[in-house]
Each structure stands twice: as C-alpha cells, then as structure tokens.
A and B are shown apart, each in its own frame.
Chain A
Amino acid sequence: MLKKRLIPVLLLQNGMLVRSEAFSIHQIIGNPIIEVQRFNQWNVDELIYLDISRSDDYDLRREDGKVRGLKDPLVILEEVSKTCFMPLTWGGRIRTIDDMRQRFLRGADKITINTAAVETPELITQAAKIFGSQAVVVCIDAKRYEGGSPEVFIDGGRTATGMSPEGWAKKAEGFGAGEILLQSIDRDGMGNGYDLGMIRSVSEAVSIPVIALGGIGAYGQYADGIKAGASAAAAANIWHFKELSDMGGKRALSKSGVNIRM
C-alpha cells in the first residue's frame, strides 16, 4: 500500500513567509528561504509553496542578512528550488499555461491553481495535456458557515462560487486534475483540527489523491484527516511553532497507525 504523506505548506506574502488566520490575519514569520533549508535537512516528504500576495511588491524588509535581494516571486522560486530537494508544488497567482511553464522551468515539480481553474476549467485539461496530470493540482478553498455545508470560494477566499467542494472536485478530476488540495477557510489558523466532514465527502467523490489542509493545531490531529480519506496531511502554521516539526508530526501519525515514511 502507498505510504501517506505529511506536507508543510509555506505561505508567501509580498516576499515574506506568513502565519495565517481565516485568510485575513497575517503575521510575518520569516524570509522565504531559511525554513526550506530546515525542511530539506529533515528530508520532508514534499513541500507546497503558495504565493498569497495581493500586490506586486515583494520585499525582504532588510538587506543585512545572508538572504538578500529577493524582490520577484520567480526569483524566490528559483532560490527555493536551489535549496529544496523534495518534490515542490508551487501555487498562487497562476493564470495561464505560460505562468505554469515559467514555474516548471524554475524548478516546480507540480503547480496548483485555484481561481483560474474555476474561471477556466479547460485550463486544467490543457495543463494536464502539456505537463501531465500528476503535475496539476487543483486547490479548493471552501468555507463552512455555522451548521451549513461548505461552499467553494475563489480570489483568496473573497468570492463565493455557489459550488460544493465535492461537486467541484469531481468536475476538476474530470477535467484532468491529478490531485486536489482541499483547504478550509474558516478553520485556517484556528488549531481545532481539519474539517473532517468535508475531507470525507470530497475523498469519496474523487479517485485522485486529496491533500487535507487547514485547522491543524496539534500533531495528533493529522491522523484524523487521513482516516477521513485524505492521502496526505498538510498544514501551514504549525510547522513554524516547534523544533523538528516533521519528526513530531510523523511520530504522531505513526502512533495512530498511519503508514508513513519516517
């Protein structure tokens, strides 16, 4: 049986890595490179890097450190690729096939699209044809209102689409997506665990791998996502809180009986 994966997600906002809450509060936690060096030392399974910037200003804020002069997302990607020897998925601000090509050329192994996939689903098919399905990840951001069922949002959580995550995931699979990155907006940064109902219904709706994201506040919660049907457990903030966070997460998964590469 295929091993499950544990995946860190780094959020890039205007040139710096940030901690995120509910897609709206962001706190700067560091430059885009040094954390990747650590993940590399730990031999992390895979890395997802999402550029959540809403403007074109990328700035490290200071130039007296060893990492300097990164003012362009593609240059940042190049630097990340030089540092990173694990499979790398790059997402955010990708609108066209050419945007994808630019990122593959600079070392991304997969790309992930969200808003563009909803607006132009044919883009998924086209991308899958050119780069292969395995390299095309469709990212789904969904928000669940109290007691209701989740709805897919685009534009960084700002625009509702009226679609259900499982319905959209099934369509995306049909268009040729190789993987679904399923993120809960309302659980982002809350630390209360994944939206398990959503993970279950999306995993049941598709046969491609689903990566669960959003809500992890303790390593013990990773396994719940896998048990709900996800092929991989992903998280962003928690990777920055404690030392050896890869080992901590994997130990917890293994303890819960999940088959993982230690």
Chain B
Amino acid sequence: MKFCSRCMYPSMAATPLTFDDKGVCSGCRVAGQKKVIDWKGRFQMLKKLTDEYRAKNNYDILIPVSGGKDSYYQAHIASKELGLKVLLVTYHGNNYLPEGEYNLARMRELFDCDHIVVKPGVDVLIKMNRIGFKLQGDMNWHNHCGIFTVPIQEAVRHKVPLMMWGEHGFMDMGGMYSYSDFVEFTAKTRLEHGLRGYDWHDFTDEGLEKLGRSELKEGLRPKDLLWAQYPPDEEIASVGVRGIYLSNYLDWDGTKNAELVTKLYGWRAAQQPFERTYRSFSNLDDMHENGIHDYLKFVKFGYGRASDHASKDIRAGVMTREKGIEMVRKYDHVKPRRDLERWLKYVNMTEEEFDAICDTFRDPRAWRIEGGQWVKDDIWGGSSAYGPVHLKCPQRAKFMREENYGRTKK
C-alpha cells in the first residue's frame, strides 16, 4: 500500500487516484490548481452563464440540497449573490439527524425559494438498505441513487434546465478532472461513480434474479422505485437540462462554507460528536453516512472518513500531515457502536450476520489475513491487526500472504 506524500490518500482508494514521480496524488495536484485560478473571472463567468437561464415565468435554477453547510452556501450564492429564483430539491432517505432536519426545514424561510422534498416509503428504504449492504457492501446506495436522480426528475418535470451542484466529489478528493474542464453532471457519473454501475432495476426481484442473487429478493417492484428512475436522454435533451458544479466557479472550501452559513443564517452543526470522524459539520442528512456507511469503506479499502476529512484539511492548509495521521489513528478503524446498533435494529439484522457479510467485501489489495486477524499497512509505517476474520476457509485463500493479490508470478 502506498500513501500520498502530501495528503494521506492510499493508492487503494474509493476515489481512483494516480501518483506523480514525487509520490503526490492527483487529488493534491488538482487542488493545487485552485491557487492559480482567477476566481473573480470565474465568478463573472458564472454570472453570465446563469443570466442566460433567467426565466420569465419559471424557476431560474434548481439546486439539489441536503440542508448541509454546502447546500446553504449554494442557496446563498444563487439567491442572495446572483438574485435567482431558486427551486430546491431534496432526497430524504429517512435518516436525518435532528440538526439536519432543522437546517433543511429552514431553507425555505431563508432563501426566497420553493422546496420539493421527496421522501420514499420507509418500508422500501429499509429493503434498499438490506439489499444494498448484501449486494455491494453499501447500505446507503439508495441515498446516492436518490440524490443523483430526484433532482434531475424534478428538473425535467418542472422544465428547469439549469441545475447547480456544489463540489464535484471525485474531482475534489481524487483529482478526476481539471479545473479547465468545467466538468458537468452526467448520467454516466451517476451510474458509474455514484452508483457503482448498479441501477434501480438491479434491486427489483427480477433484477436480482438476473444478477444471480435471488436470495436477496425483497419483493421490490419497478413502481416501488419510481424516485430512483433516471429520465431518458430524450426528456433531458428536450428540456436541455445541464448540471454545473459551483466548485468550478468559486474557490470552494467546505470549512469556510460552514463558518459563513453559521454566521449568516444560524446553520447548526451536529451537537453530538460522530464516532468515526472529528468533523461535526458534514453529513447531517444521514446519520449512517459517517457511521456504518463509512465503516464499510474501512472494511473494503482500509481507510475512512477521518482520512478524507484530514486530507481535505491538509490540502486546505489548516492541518499538518502529522496531526492528520493522529486523526487517522484515532478514528479510521472505529466500529461505530451507537450507529451500528441503531442500524441493525432498523433493518432487523444481527451483528454476527453483519460482520460475516462485511468480510465478503474486504479487498485483497488492502487486506491480508495473519493469524486469524485482518491486517493492513498503516500510514504511520508497518502494519497492524484490526480484528478477527469471519470468512470461511475457502474464501480466505486470496488474503493469505503467499498468494497475495497483485502481479501473478509466471
């Protein structure tokens, strides 16, 4: 395992990275571009672009929001700085923190806008949690799907061609594109990076059968997942829907966004600390996002949200790498008790079952088995054991050191 020499990203990351000859990752390299961009000029470009979409008798812009710090910032820019008539659209996955609910509810008081909140039936969501977890080690798949589908559905339905997202996650974390690309939202980004290639139909009985995973069927039908169905190209083309990222036009900084909207609008961070990260102002729209969902990232790839947050803070120059490593040591491996217990109850599953399924998603690029324990390389050097193995014998083979993953010896 290799780690970026500037931030802390591992070579085996959920966001695919490349490294330069100095061992600096593509995420750091692209973040470095932000220092030389003419942001005043970029803001003028944004003004010009949004002006072209001002409507006589419709919304000027649609903003997908969760109610988080970045949502407030997007709404602030669109409504207050640009003077646009805003339509807010939210996917509600049923797991908001109370602070998140409070922030979300206040948006229509603060930003002179209408707000559509789509809340799928809870029974369907619970089933989606279970299938997502067992099929791809991500119980929050429904969340990614809802967030990347509902706003486009509403844009088509209300004929609002311009959508404004916040930051491009994979570009920000992994350096997927450059700032000169002015990358926009695409169905491909949704399917491949948001949803890992799976779509809503894979969760229906028929879809699971096609995947050869009949044992995961929960009785879901296409009409249970209407909120998850991406509009066809023709509909998108006829309205001319496009989704720009605000991070291409403004010097985006999550920490500064949080400070600004707290000061201007009384936006609230989480009152109770998270179990797996030191930040309290991220992911209030879903309590499991920093909990079980993120623990599964550690299970798969051997790193977690503390690595993400600290890497962002290191790139922004507000944290040293040493301090970042301290955060990783403290948080990355934590099994979130409070969050896990809530979730197991929510989906009616035992912890034994949970642990056994988790282990089927360990990636041999990150993990090996030594003495019945899961072992991985650490950013501070050497390697450590991170708990007992729950896999059955034949499944263990690919994690044993001798025949470890990577180059096959010929």
Contact = CB atoms under 8 A, between A and B. Distances in A.
A49 to B, nearest CB: 16
Interface in B173-193: 174-178, 180-188, 191-193
Given A31-B192, A34-B197, A63-B363, A241 B187 contact: no
A100 B13 CA distance: 35
B167 interface: no
Interface string A37-70: 0100110000000000000010101111111000
A29 B197 contact: no
Nearest to B211: A66
A243 B274 CA distance: 37
B14 interface: yes
Contacts, number: 98
Nearest to A24: B20
Contacts of B243: 243
Contact of B237 (A31, A57, A244): A244
Contacts of B177: 19, 27, 29, 240-241
A243 B185 CA distance: 7
A31 B16 CA distance: 10
B17 interface: yes
Contacts of B365: 59, 61
Interface in B184-239: 184-188, 191-193, 196-198, 202, 233, 236-237
B138 interface: yes
Interface string B124-164: 00000000000011100000000000000000000000000
Contacts of A18: 18
B16 A16 contact: yes
* B interface residue count range (under 10 / 10 to 19 / 20 to 34 / 35 or more): 35 or more
Nearest to B27: A27
A243 B301 contact: no
A113 B178 CA distance: 29
Nearest to B301: A62
Interface string B380-410: 0000000000000000000000000011000
Contacts of B18: 18, 26-28
A27 B26 contact: yes
Interface residues of A, number: 34
A247 interface: yes
Nearest to B29: A25
Nearest to A39: B188
Given A27-B18, A38-B188, A242-B242, A62 B237 contact: no
Contact of A243 (B12, B178, B187, B300): B187
Interface string B356-395: 0000010101000000000000000000000000000000
B30 interface: yes
Interface in A120-178: none
Given A19-B178, A41-B233, A62 B188 contact: no
Contacts of B185: 243
A66 B184 contact: no
A28 B177 CA distance: 8
B176 A27 contact: yes
B198 A247 contact: no
Contacts of A242: 183-184, 186, 242
Contacts of A29: 176-177
A171 to B, nearest CB: 36
A57 B180 CA distance: 30
Contacts of A63: 363
B136 A62 contact: no
A191 interface: yes
A237 B301 CA distance: 28
B236 A27 contact: no
B182 A241 contact: yes
Interface string A240-262: 11111001000000000000000
Given A19-B177, A27-B177, A244-B236, A65 B188 contact: no
A66 B187 CA distance: 16
A64 B138 contact: yes
Interface string B30-44: 100000000000000
A27 B19 CA distance: 9
A24 B196 CA distance: 28
A66 B175 contact: no
A30 interface: yes
Contact of A27 (B138, B175, B182, B301): B175
24 contacts: A16-B16, A25-B29, A27-B177, A27-B178, A28-B26, A29-B176, A29-B177, A30-B193, A38-B186, A41-B233, A57-B406, A61-B16, A64-B138, A64-B361, A64-B363, A65-B196, A66-B197, A237-B181, A240-B183, A241-B182, A242-B183, A243-B241, A244-B237, A247-B237
Interface of A: 16, 18-19, 21, 25-31, 34-35, 38, 41-42, 57, 59, 61-67, 191, 217, 237, 240-244, 247
The 10 closest A-B pairs by CB, nearest first: A66-B197, A65-B196, A28-B16, A34-B192, A65-B197, A243-B186, A242-B184, A64-B136, A241-B181, A241-B183
Interface of B: 12-14, 16-18, 26, 29-30, 136-138, 174-178, 180-188, 191-193, 196-198, 202, 233, 236-237, 241-243, 300-301, 361, 363, 365, 406-407
Given A26-B18, A28-B176, A62-B16, 4 more contacts: A27-B178, A34-B188, A38-B188, A243-B241
